[in-house]
Structure 1
Amino acid sequence: MVRVAVAGGTGQVSQEEAPTTTTVAPEIHWQIVDYNDKEILVEALRGTHTLLSFVQILSDPDQKAQKNLIDAAIAAGVKRFAPSEYGSKGTVDMAWWHGKERIREYLEEVNEKEKILEYTLFQPGLFLDYLAYPYKTAKHVDPLQSVFDFENKRAIVVDGHEDSIMTLTTVADVAAVVARTVDYEGRWPTTGGIRGNRVTFSRILEIGRRVRGCSFTVDKVKVEDLEAGSLKASWGLEAVHRAVSEDQASALLKAVSIGVLLSSSKGAWDISDELNQLFPDYEFTPIEDFLAKTWEGKP
């Protein structure tokens, strides 16, 4: 088994991916590091084969931490690196994720002349667990709202783009595929698409009707309004990620709704399937099975 380092190991997603427990196993070692000190990072990474980053993008607007991690990984002789991704393939109309583009560009830059750091972008689309809001279905990842509100049987859809694609993958499936990828001895694909369920907005609403026992109330919004920064819907997101401060919450929640809707109409959530192909025997959790089980007996 190779030595794996996890940066940002106290985060929710990283705890799903890493073999952490309430009692730290003997083979797991915690270390507090200064991401601004490259020498400390190099020493901490010596002997590491694979580095997985879960650095919170919103907390590192200039992406200095991840760039320093990449530099230190190269200096320490780390073979493989996975940046903090775990979402859509594109970041169009999603300003809060533009930091991902900076890191993608930086990885291309450091590998421009020769491949000195193997890497993959883990992209599972939206966590299917978010459609269980407000119920928690993952060990560590908290419930978050989306434009599909199964609790109140309602949704927001872009008018004329009802067949836009969303990729939805459970947190558990993402963790399992990442673990397999870490153990994989071949060369990683640069894009690590994880396609749990590839479904249209219309299909999600059909499933919602079946598992919730009635049709959803659907607010249809116009592309031109979204492009102008206006969300003309009868409701909006209320649950904010813990990494976001209270004074930023309202604006970000509106931006997230607009961004997800606009980007979905442009194909940002139609995830590729590189890791499905790499592990063809892995069986992903079907969306209808997951939601039927989650919402059975719920008011």
Structure 2
Amino acid sequence: MTHEPYKKIALAGATGNLGSVVLKELVDSGLFEVTVLTRESSTNTFPSEVKVAKVNFESAESLTQALAGIDALVSTVATLAISTQKLLIDSAVAAGVKRIIPSEFGCDLHNPKTKALPVYAGKVEIEDYLKELSTKTNVSYTLIFNGPFLDWGLTNGLFFNFKERKVELFDGGDQPISSSRLSTVAKAVRRVLTHPPETADRAIWVKDIDVSQKQLLKLARELTPGEEWEIKQVDTAALEKESLEQLAKGDIGPLTFFNLVRRAIFAPEYGGQFKYDHNAILGIKSLKEEELPGLVRAAFNWEEIVKSATDGPYLP
């Protein structure tokens, strides 16, 4: 395995919530030659330093040609496109790509309970496939677990509904959750690419801070003095039971999978609070508790913290 940092990087999903931040991090670092993989019909524009390769994501030939000469592939495709990564991975192997970072970027899938949730079946399949390939080919991989996106989650109702002053407290709301800002995840991607040997064929855990839902709610309520909040207690075990019943019946609703994600994030036994992290190894500074009020305040002063992903939402 090479000990040299990877230079030529291909990025899939560059217009999404996370992908756009990863792209900026890679470009701004000045360390890489970045190629963005886009659909043939795409009209998105990118910085002049970025090479754009329009590909047919259903064609191995098209993908392999675009990935020729690439050192590492980073995928930040949206949740609904997770399973499509298999052809992308096969094409990367055929093109001689050395490292693949698949679209994980969320809950700890090395926790057995989380790994068993049907919502993560696609990610688990991709991880198993990469493990197998790493033993038979020259490709290596890195999985990045970063918990729910802290900034995105605040502005998109993951922790509470700030606009309507409503909150569902999951399993009491006291459980600390390891969470990361989008920019922190992007830094982790960059550091993986500059440290090939240390990050090969393994998972890494990164986080900004361990914070509970009640802590975040307290800070949000301080921004709305004198206003009443509607608080509802929710049992994530009941959410999981309901979702599994819906799946068994084939009666999939808009919250079927999202409620399983809530179970993974907020239930104490599902590994939402990481036992350890690789921040120090990757040179990532944790967010201090005294910095949280400013982060929460900024989240609700910004009109739009991140652009919506063109491929749909990304679930942790």
TM-score band, normalised by the shorter chain? 0.7 to 0.9
Identity of aligned residues (%): 24
Inter-partner Cα distance in structure 2 for 1:166 and 1:16: 22
How far residue 78 of structure 1 moved from its aligned partner, in angstroms, is 1.2
The equivalent position to 2:189 in structure 1, one of 178, 191, 198, is 178
Map of 2:285 onto structure 1:
282
Map of 1:123 onto structure 2:
145
Please show how residues 7-156 of structure 1 align to structure 2 within 5 Å. 7-19=12-24, 24-59=46-81, 63=83, 65-90=84-109, 91-92=114-115, 95-111=118-134, 113=135, 116-133=138-155, 144-156=156-168
SS in structure 2 at match of 1:206: helix
Q: Give me the TM-score of the superposition, normalised by structure 1.
A: 0.74
Inter-partner Cα distance in structure 2 for 1:50 and 1:297: 34
Map of 1:136 onto structure 2:
none
SS in structure 2 at match of 1:51: strand
How far residue 6 of structure 1 moved from its aligned partner, in angstroms, is 0.8
Q: Is the 8 A contact 1:195 1:273 kept in 2?
A: no
- RMSD value, Cα: 3.2
Deviations 1:140-168 (A, max 9, x none): xxxx2224223333321234x53323222
How far residue 51 of structure 1 moved from its aligned partner, in angstroms, is 0.5
Map of 1:269 onto structure 2:
272
Deviations 1:245-293 (A, max 9, x none): xxxxx92235414541465213243246544122345354743330133
Inter-partner Cα distance in structure 2 for 1:35 and 1:258: 29
Please show how residues 155-170 of structure 1 align to structure 2 within 5 Å. 155-159=167-171, 161-170=172-181
Distance 1:225 1:57, change over 3 A: closer
Distance 1:11 1:295, change over 3 A: closer
Inter-partner Cα distance in structure 1 for 2:76 and 2:69: 20
Structure with greater proportional helix content: 2
Point out the more displaced range, 28-37 or 257-266. 257-266
Distance 1:294 1:12, change over 3 A: closer
Q: Give me the TM-score of the superposition, normalised by structure 2.
A: 0.71
Distance 1:287 1:125, change over 3 A: farther
Distance 1:124 1:281, change over 3 A: closer
Structure 2: runs of 5+ lacking an equivalent: 1-5, 29-43, 244-251, 304-316
Q: How many residues align?
A: 264
Q: Which amino acid aligns with 1:276?
A: N
Inter-partner Cα distance in structure 2 for 1:187 and 1:114: 20
Q: Is the 8 A contact 1:191 1:274 kept in 2?
A: no
Q: Is the 8 A contact 2:188 2:284 kept in 1?
A: no
